[in-house]
Structure 1
Amino acid sequence: MENKFKDIENYGIIGNLETCALIGSDGSIDWMCLPYLESPSIFAAILDNKRGGHFAIQPVSKFSSFQAYIKETNILQTTFNTPFGMVTITDFMPVNLYDGTKHHRTLYRKVKCIEGHIRLELSFKPRFNYAKDVPDFKLIEGGATCSFEDNELFLNTVVPLKIKEDEITSQFNMRKDMEIWFVLQYNQQDHYSPEYPPDYGKFNEKLDALQEYWQNWTYKCHKICILEDIWHDIIARSGLVLKLLANPESGAIAAAATTSLPECTGGVRNWDYRYAWIRDSAYTIQALFHLEHVQESQDYMRWINSIIKQGTHPSDIRIMYPLHKDEAVEEQMLEYLSGYKQSSPVRIGNAAVNQKQLDIYGELINAIYDTTRYGKDISDKTWEFIKNFVDYICEVWNTKDRGIWEIRGEPLHYVHSKLMCWVAVDRGIKIAKFKKTETSCNWEETKNEIETAILEKGFNKELNSFVQSFDSGAIDATTLLIPRMGLLPYDDPRVQGTIEAVMKNLMTEKGLVYRYKNEDGLPGAEGCFLICSFWLVDSLALSGRLDEAISIFVNVLQLMSPLGLLAEEIDPKTGKLLGNFPQAFSHIGLVNSALYIGIARGRKHKGPKPQGFKHSVPYKKEKFKIKK
């Protein structure tokens, strides 16, 4: 069975809240790590279609296919049409909720013939440790096992299997209404043992129970929804994606489910995003809160609190963390893998973990501050950490760093980093007022110093725009966040000048926005960053420029995958998705942009109004069609 590279948008995702699997529209599982999202892969065909390993089920004859989720769930269905009949594969993983009961790490594949008669083939080709190790295969009653060291996979099915060289294969016939299950269970030393023999009679009950779980969890509109009605399903899907990337045990949310999917096909900008970044904090909490996922918002805040309590000094705080304490972050290159569509190197871990990025302190404190805006209290112990962070920022804010984009060149005085230093001090002062307590005497002075530096050195009068770094001429999309953080209001001429500069220099005709276009110390090109497009939508909406905001928003939605999933970037020439997938920050940006459009239109919403926003503007309701 030949496994060709597929476009990123031709993948769906399922998961169990510990790990995820990417399943192609051809019925092949091409990416899965076990036991956790950031653990070594067992299927990695998406990074090397010959060596990586896969678990494929598809018709022997020529076929066409399409994918869809069961409504309001993370249960994926792939339907194949052939000249002889139609068959559907339903893929799902029961979730692990850490509720005190034992759970098996299991993936179910239900194959059902809808009409006609059809012959299918199976190729089960796991490769442990990022395709470095070929397991030992063994046929057993009712299936097969494959093992390497202390890792073992059980594949259970009623279909006869055979071992062919370095994989397990089978061909089998199906007729209308016939149903066959394939059950993949993972066992690791000191973890739960698999269910054997499996009870096939209860599998549909498991499917029904999982469907009920997801449909009860997913976002529902109550009375008047702040989100545009026709965008509801798209927003709900974003919530479901965020849930898959979240770990209920730690509360952390991974930036993406994959590593090394390139920012430009054939290029070298290939990074591992299977970790939780601190800078996503406030945006994530806001998105989860407005999707009414209060528990997930609280879990995420619990993770934030665990981070700030880890270091004995503020400088000990890292920019990113693994979802599990025992997983590594240090960067390695897997030179033996070809990379997605020959995009190498393939990286695991992320060297940016050791970078100095001053903005993370502002992100942390802003996330904590936002909980007070949503009515939550802050403990005295957390307040002590906040004071230490703000005192630290007062000492180091005027030093250089690598910035939000994690530039691997020389450190600079990045305007966004200074902005977030200002946010750290500003929010520290506001939290002190909320708690009715005293602050250090130099906080107000430092806040004013940072503001003066940003306004004088970070604003280029010739360009009439804020710029990437002090005294530079580089336009950067992060400058759109200045009013959102409350430094200036949206109607300030300098803010409007910055919006115009971003649109003129970084935006494509479709409203896609590059991060920046100046040199950054790395070879090769990259696509347009989706989060930057959403920042532009936010800025336009909260400036009262709703026609432009909605036009760009709809244009971006047109470029989602058929399943409503977003990667990190989009190729502006082809409209293809680029980068790691699905990307949490892109989906968070989508949710918040829909929220801001609703707020700007004067629709009722929970929580406070956005920073820098003054009032809504009248807007005529129209129907916008999303082409899928």
Structure 2
Amino acid sequence: MSRKTTYKKLEEYGIIGNLETCALIGKDGSVDWCCFPHLESPSVFAAILDVERGGHFIIQPSENFISKQFYIEKTNVLQTAFETESGSVTLVDFMPVTTKRKNGFLVQYFEKIKNLVDKPGIHHNERSIIRKIICTKGSVELKIEFKPRFNYARAIPKFVVLQNGVIARWQNHTLFLQSPIPLTILDGKAKGNFNLKEGEHIWFVLRYGSTTIKSAKECEELLQKTLDYWLGWVHSCEPSKCVFEGPWHDIVVRSGLVLKLLTHPETGAIAAAPTTSIPEEIGGSRNWDYRFSWVRDASFTVQALYNLGHVKEAKDYLKWFIDICRHKSPSKIQVMYGLHGELSLEEEELEHLSGYQNSYPVRIGNAAVKQKQLDIYGELINAIYETTRYGEDISSRDWDSIKEIVDYVCEIWNTKDAGIWEVRGEPQHFTYSKLMCWVALDRGIKIARLKRFDANLSKWVKNKEDIRYTILERGFNKKLNSFVQSLDGDKLDASCLLIPIVGFLSFNDPRVQGTVDAVVKYLMNEKGLVYRYDGEDGLTGKEGTFTLCSFWLVDTLTLSGRIKEAEEIFLNVLKYVSPLGLLAEEIDANLDRQLGNFPQAFSHIGLINSALYLGKAKGKEQMGPSPIGIANE
């Protein structure tokens, strides 16, 4: 292949990161997405959203080549191997991980923090992308093309050529590309050519906010430190005893590494994805910014992290949610937050960008932050309840906040909302929202009784019973023999698969099994991929199958004792994992390709938990307490 002005499939990208931000690098050696200094900062490379205008940083052979990507085992250090007629080269890409949590530093959540670049007292990463190119056979002519575009490609930088590289500057933002070869500026980009012979290698260092030179020795040391960091952090086990043993073990480990890349080192918040506006349908408008931390699925995230052995990350994530409860009154709790705790995530359309494969509009920010979504209260209280199972205590101060939320749920559970899927149509009485309000009350009651905390238990119990009656009477459609998306409705929704997992009904309840069978019959396709729901959602266009929903089906089947079916579906879904072990939000069943923001945290969380449930069903022991669903039985 050679460089083309076309878009790559998501499966042709790898991800690297430094725990503050990430970069997507194609198998053609092009950095097509990167934001500095933070994951949610404006992009400096955005070719993935506009191949002409977005900006990129390419290192690749000048002649035609074939290539493949792979990670150095159990790390986030990426390698791209190029084969040409004249020889072979390997490109090694990484972002140094050097951040350490400072003693006594506490992030002030919920302040409107716009820029933490120069905040006193914060120790930042080595903000750089380091690229080593090694010739392993023959002789190869290569080219480099450095085309940064600041502020989501709204700004073309001014270039300054130096003896040892080139500086790209816009306002107070600086990118310094340290280059061992001379570069020339032409048409708003820096270009160069060079030749490597077998055994030779050179380094290119791209630094944000610094023009300090790195020697080859320093680059090698940073590479080794980065490898040591990831190898010291990654899940380790005795394979025969690991709960994740099976053909999916390595993909589970990779999923943990992805989650770490998306975890903010100071707050513990986990971004849903490192990208924005990768479409759910090619040419469609369902394009959203996922570079924020959602409240939902907190307890399943903790379960996934804990069972991979990442206890610190699991506890930090829980503390993030406890802090949300502590600092905000229930009516002010948002469905998502910025990774530093930002409240304002105003949605904006970038009209100058064409979008991935001309899928317009490109959006930054997310208007769903203003939606009313009742399920978040159940997620919060359930996550806090899980802290007691993972050995954490709940202080009286925390209990005051929890009690306030549960009291608030008593007042609002019977109102309409936008639901888990953040529909942009009219609010409805969504069954899943009612279910999670029931969870908030159920877990609140359990915490109060367990810890002997003061609470209006009679009120809570009554509301819990009222919700249960409402769901059973109005959320179950007898004609479909299934729970449905909204009260008195007739549309199926995969979120109803969670009804037994959260402990509302047992897995052997005929209404639960009826729901599972309905999902299999009407929402699952012949490839074992599950759609979120049927019916209208207030948006134009279509979407692919939703990866997390496929994993929910695996979980419910496994916990229902239908293990053969569960494993078959799980293995079918894993066929769509990228060669590097990465998953997007959705899978287009017709085109057999991934779609949506990439890689997606919830998809990887679902994968880990499905492997956990299957491992438990086969007699393996997990690290932590019994998984959700088993613990509730």
1:156 corresponds to which of 170, 174, 178: 178
> Which structure 1 residue ranges, 5 or more long, are not aligned?
188-193, 617-628
Letter in structure 2 aligned against 1:542: L
- C-alpha contact 1:48 1:337 (8 A) present in aligned 2: yes
Tell me by how many angstroms 1:325 deviates. 4.0
Q: 1:224 to 1:255 in 2, by over 3 A?
A: same
- C-alpha contact 1:39 1:327 (8 A) present in aligned 2: no
Q: Secondary structure at the match of 1:444?
A: helix
- Does 2:208 correspond to 1:186? yes
Deviations along 1:471-505, whole A, 9 cap, x unmatched? 00000000000001100011110000000000001
2:353 corresponds to which of 314, 318, 337: 337
- C-alpha contact 1:490 1:496 (8 A) present in aligned 2: yes
- C-alpha contact 2:135 2:197 (8 A) present in aligned 1: yes
2:546 — aligned with what?
529
After TM superposition, list the pairs within 5 Å mapping 1:289-300 onto structure 2.
289-300=306-317
Tell me by how many angstroms 1:299 deviates. 1.2
Tell me by how many angstroms 1:610 deviates. 3.9
- C-alpha contact 1:489 1:613 (8 A) present in aligned 2: no
**Comparing 513-522 and 584-593, the one that deviates more:** 513-522
Letter in structure 1 aligned against 2:372: K
Letter in structure 1 aligned against 2:572: N
Q: 1:102 to 1:251 in 2, by over 3 A?
A: closer
- Does 2:334 correspond to 1:318? yes
Instruction: Give distance in 2, aligned partners of 1:595 and 1:256.
Output: 22
Instruction: Give distance in 2, aligned partners of 1:415 and 1:227.
Output: 32
Q: Secondary structure at the match of 1:258?
A: coil
1:175 — aligned with what?
197
Instruction: Give distance in 1, aligned partners of 2:417 and 2:131.
Output: 48
- Does 2:72 correspond to 1:73? no
Instruction: Give distance in 1, aligned partners of 2:35 and 2:174.
Output: 13
Instruction: Give distance in 2, aligned partners of 1:261 and 1:360.
Output: 25
Letter in structure 2 aligned against 1:318: Q
- C-alpha contact 1:490 1:613 (8 A) present in aligned 2: no
1:308 corresponds to which of 325, 331, 341: 325
- C-alpha contact 2:475 2:485 (8 A) present in aligned 1: yes
Instruction: Give distance in 2, aligned partners of 1:610 and 1:301.
Output: 16
- Does 2:62 correspond to 1:60? yes
Tell me by how many angstroms 1:375 deviates. 2.2
Deviations along 1:54-109, whole A, 9 cap, x unmatched? 00011110000000000000000011000000001100001142344664201100
Letter in structure 2 aligned against 1:263: E
1:348 corresponds to which of 341, 361, 364: 364
1:508 corresponds to which of 491, 500, 525: 525
Q: 1:527 to 1:110 in 2, by over 3 A?
A: same
2:119 — aligned with what?
none
Deviations along 1:15-49, whole A, 9 cap, x unmatched? 00000000000000000001100010000000000
After TM superposition, list the pairs within 5 Å mapping 1:469-480 onto structure 2.
469-480=486-497
2:502 corresponds to which of 485, 489, 498: 485
1:561 corresponds to which of 572, 575, 578: 578
2:151 — aligned with what?
129
1:408 corresponds to which of 418, 424, 447: 424
Letter in structure 1 aligned against 2:598: F
Instruction: Give distance in 1, aligned partners of 2:627 and 2:214.
Output: 52
Instruction: Give distance in 2, aligned partners of 1:24 and 1:503.
Output: 36
Q: 1:325 to 1:478 in 2, by over 3 A?
A: closer
Tell me by how many angstroms 1:302 deviates. 1.9
Letter in structure 1 aligned against 2:51: N
1:22 — aligned with what?
24
- Does 2:185 correspond to 1:141? no
* Percentage of matched positions with identical amino acids: 57
Instruction: Give distance in 2, aligned partners of 1:346 and 1:328.
Output: 19
After TM superposition, list the pairs within 5 Å mapping 1:208-607 onto structure 2.
208-222=224-238, 224-311=241-328, 313-325=329-341, 328-440=344-456, 441-607=458-624
2:139 — aligned with what?
117
Q: 1:163 to 1:414 in 2, by over 3 A?
A: same
Instruction: Give distance in 2, aligned partners of 1:8 and 1:102.
Output: 30
Instruction: Give distance in 2, aligned partners of 1:92 and 1:598.
Output: 33
- C-alpha contact 2:279 2:286 (8 A) present in aligned 1: yes
- C-alpha contact 2:20 2:125 (8 A) present in aligned 1: no
After TM superposition, list the pairs within 5 Å mapping 1:4-15 onto structure 2.
4-15=6-17
1:622 — aligned with what?
none
Please provide the CA RMSD for this pair.
1.4
Tell me by how many angstroms 1:612 deviates. 4.5
- C-alpha contact 2:503 2:632 (8 A) present in aligned 1: no
- C-alpha contact 1:488 1:612 (8 A) present in aligned 2: no
Q: Secondary structure at the match of 1:448?
A: helix
Instruction: Give distance in 2, aligned partners of 1:195 and 1:49.
Output: 28
1:621 — aligned with what?
none
**Comparing 598-607 and 440-449, the one that deviates more:** 598-607
Q: How many residues align?
A: 609
Q: Secondary structure at the match of 1:388?
A: helix
2:94 — aligned with what?
92
Q: 1:541 to 1:525 in 2, by over 3 A?
A: same
Q: 1:39 to 1:523 in 2, by over 3 A?
A: same
Q: Secondary structure at the match of 1:230?
A: coil
